[in-house]
Structure 1
Amino acid sequence: MKKIITFFSVLFLLCSFKVNAQISTFPYIATGGDITGWTPVQSEFLWYIGAVTKNASNVSNDTAVVCNFYGQPDGVEGMIVSPAFNFTSLSHPVLNFYVAYRTYDSFNDSLQVLISTNGGITFIDTPVPYRKANNSSPSLATLPASTVEFNPSSPSQWRHETIDLAAYAGMNGILIAFRGRSANGNNLWIDDFIINNADDYCTNNVNAPGNYSCNSYLSVNMNTIGDPAGGVLSVTDHLFQDPVPSYAPVEIATNTTATTQDGSIYTPNIIAPDAWFTVSYTGNDKNGYANYNLSIDVSTYISVLDISKLYIMKRSDMTGSWECVNTTISGGLLTANGLTYFSDFGVGGDTLTNPLPVELESFVSVIHGNNVDLKWSTSSELNNAGFDIERAIDNGQITIDNWNKIGNVSGNGTINEPKEYSFTDRNLATGKYSYRLKQIDFNGNFKYYNLNNDVNIGTPEKFELSQNYPNPFNPETKISFNLPADSKVSLKVFDMTGREVSELVNDFKPAGYYSINFNASSLSSGVYYYTISAGSFISTKKMIVVK
């Protein structure tokens, strides 16, 4: 019988959680080397950070989260609890992580994923379907039992897991807990907690070899299914992300062996932004690992010119480097054969043979009072119809519904030389704004480019009444004024005799920038004056109505 090992003499019992400062920026990534904000809730030393021989990205001597089943007796349980998440900007949140585990003898250690929506008062495990043990089917274990204390020594000993959190989309104050219960088995390791938004998510129940294609772009042909009982195959789809997010020290690993359809061996310099995928399969466990062929349909990809020079690319997750896989082609279908482990997949190419539809060199903003000049440049364009300019008021919770089209600038079709573009967003109110470009080709395909910084329109430095525009006008014009302080404002229009003909504003206004539309359809042609009174500030301007 195994000796129980006590690693530390201290005990942990932490039961309060902070939900005021919530995480609202995604993707969210927490590795074993940095799990800031995660809280252990335990009365025995069950969860800790340990040195792992090799992680899922094949990095040696890294760190990961350990559940100490090896050193704790039967019945000991505890949790690690995430910081609070704000999912109001996510339409379909998805959680990914890696797990590696083998038991001692046949002891039935277990792991559950729990969710709290009330600040940690209660945690539930529905509708989140993750409740696994050594003896469950599929098994929690990624390897057969061993009497040696377990420490993963190869990426092949880790399994990629995906949990659908769509039930919590649009909610805030979400806490995620991993609860381990010891049966005095062997160590369980967890690494790379990632929460991201899915553009599409689907699953297939796998119980026999064959083709599984719940996703319209990606299909998996199972040659063998690993656990004889099968498992659940899930595909998460991420569309039109340029660049495809990567947090690896080296985004694309040097390739010296993998070939494309035409026999080329090279290292891609771009991952196609049209789509990338996260694929997980629960049937890879102690009873066996699947062998499969994976295909991606690139026939509708707008960034592809020469399909014969494309690779299917594979990485552990956003923390790992993309690696080339031997790739064959049939029609518009790229295929990689004989794969075993599940993770992220994409399409790699070279911008010389498969250039992006538009290569954006820069996108910047310049503030002039309450006007914003947006300037961007391209190094080349392919089939570019133009750019929609979109703006969102940034209140910390931008969703797809916050974006509004404010203008359009025509593109230059297909051109292999630099081009510069600009657009001015005028007369903005005080506040914080975000901008993005929606680049559209002549077939209606599109992708987004986000301005990397927020635009802050502050309060004016002085009182000011601007000349109306247009002037002369018929019948409408716009009158703008600036208030550096909260003020009682009166804005009136007079004819040449001094008779008041219209009152446009008579109200208390907070400091900021203002624009008022004035319709003179009821007035005769001639010269008129408009006067503003705000505190001690008084100013008058002349305008001309021409009919």
Structure 2
Amino acid sequence: MQGSHNLTVNSNWTNNGTYDPGTGTVTFNGTSTISGTTTSHEFYNITINATKTMTAPSDNINLYGNWLNNGIFNHNSGTITLLGTSDQNITSGNYPFYNLTVQNSSTGVNLLDNATVAYALSLVDGIFSTGSNYIISQDLTINAITNFSDQSFVYGNIRKYIGNGVTYPLPIGKGTSSTDYLRADLISAITGGTSYIDVSVDAITETSNNIDANLTSTQNGEDLTEVLGEDAIWTIIPNVQPTGTYGIRLYVANIGLDAGDDNFFCIVKRDGASADYSDWLSLDGSTTIPANDAAGRIYDSGNGYAERDGYTSFSQFSIAKWTSTLQVELVSFKGICKNNSAILSWQTYSEINNDYFIIEKSRDMVNFFEFTRVDGAGNSNVINSYEVKDNELFSGDNFYRLKQVDFDGTKETFNTIVINCDKSNDSEAIINVYPNPFRSVLKLYIENLNDHDVELIFLDETGRIVLKKSIFVTDKLYETSIDLKELKPAIYYLRLVSDLKVFNIKVTKQ
């Protein structure tokens, strides 16, 4: 049968030959089942009339025009493939598809009501525009949405049902151009509560309080300088907030980043009702980001993404940037006793024009002398690790101070640590702080004070107490970050008081 015929089917449709649909409409006006020896049933427009029923074949329907369901549709575990060469409109009538494939070589497919895909949504070609409606993906496996790209994604809203232990791709966009493609991933460790999330992405005009000048959050001790909200803000709304944790990946393609931003961008989060950039938070300390130069921190020729793990609630997300103002960004400076020697080790996140390090030593924390020099990495944006050994220890306390020297002779002094190998044993309490000087966040490294409360007392140079905080040390090797943005730049004396020992450390806020 050939030609652009409009046909009304009051019973079953059986195709054992060849049907050329042209541009005609087949209207199902009874209780109908599609069957036949062909494995791909070709239609242009399909209409199911009100109160009428159509049961699909268990193989494939190729649709070149519109789908209008005013009645009842039984998917029969089959596949509907949208193969139009012009815009196609889909009205599901709230009856689910089993497999739905978008392979439209024109501008794409328009969703005129909510549509559910019970198993696999395959985005091969063309943009799936939902308007204010939702494409609902019910399958809980990683293969629920496949084949997506910047040539085929969802412009509008995805409702994704989720389980535990699966990373779900969310191929979402803010428009119909390939440059509007702004993929996200959900890394689910959610054990309860949330059964689905609604996902969309948009961009804003930075104005009023939605401006970078209002940013107050930090990452790795550095102030965030820019949120890319004018490029993308992802909104994720759950049916209820989750039990357990999850991670998010936001892909950098079509975002204002390049390779020069490697290791200096991260995900930030704020309440969905916020209209103020001061509400963007990195949540550094309660969440984690990958290590420098790992996936999740690099641009990777536009194929990379930002990643953050450990979230416990959903809201709005974007990508923020910062610029390191430190020539050497120090991760840690630590010391331990081993076989009557002191082992000193330190790590850097990044180095700029770094010629060498100096380790200075003192017996009284007043008079220091140069103990040794270690070559720096010059320019580096990867983690570098260094270690030296001191076999000639003073009796009692040995103080070590780390300095960094640029190629032009500029010096920067970091924190001082103390080691006493005369009384060192497995139960000796040790506390180190870094970076020192610091900007907004001071990190503590604590050994052998597990299950103890530690009070942190900050005193100014006159001895006046300016701030108190308390922490509970949960592990034998314990690290934590203390947000100190309320302190003014100055020199402080940090007193750490536990029921085992009192520590006094001089720190500088820049």
* Larger RCO of the pair (alpha carbons < 8 Å, separation 6+): 1
Q: TM-score, normalising length from structure 2?
A: 0.30
Looking at secondary structure, tell me which structure has more strand per residue.
2
